[in-house]
Amino acid sequence: MSIEHEQRCERTIVTTVHEIDGLKRQLAEALAAIERARELCTPHPFRIPLADFALRGEVLAALAMS
């Protein structure tokens, strides 16, 4: 293997490692965004909408009648 070929291979490896590092950062950012979206979309137990309370009351009333 010539020195020139070895240098090309080394540059290719370095470039590939940099690309992988960039992809890892992008993946970490995407996972963080997904986690933020999950937190926003998951109802907090202390922030239950009033409509849910009304529905729960209807369900309990229906169960009591059966």
Check pLDDT > 70 for residue 47. Answer: no
Q: Tell me phi and psi for residue 15, to 5 degrees.
A: -65, -45
Would you say the C-alpha torsion 46, 48, 49, 52 has a positive or negative sign?
A: negative
- Which tokens sit at 57? 């009351």
The yes-or-no verdict on residue 13 having pLDDT over 90 is yes
Compute the distance between CA of residue 64 and CA of residue 5 in angstroms, rounded to an integer.
81
pTM, two decimals, is: 0.54
- DSSP one-letter code for 2: -
What integer pLDDT is reported at residue 38 of this predicted model?
82
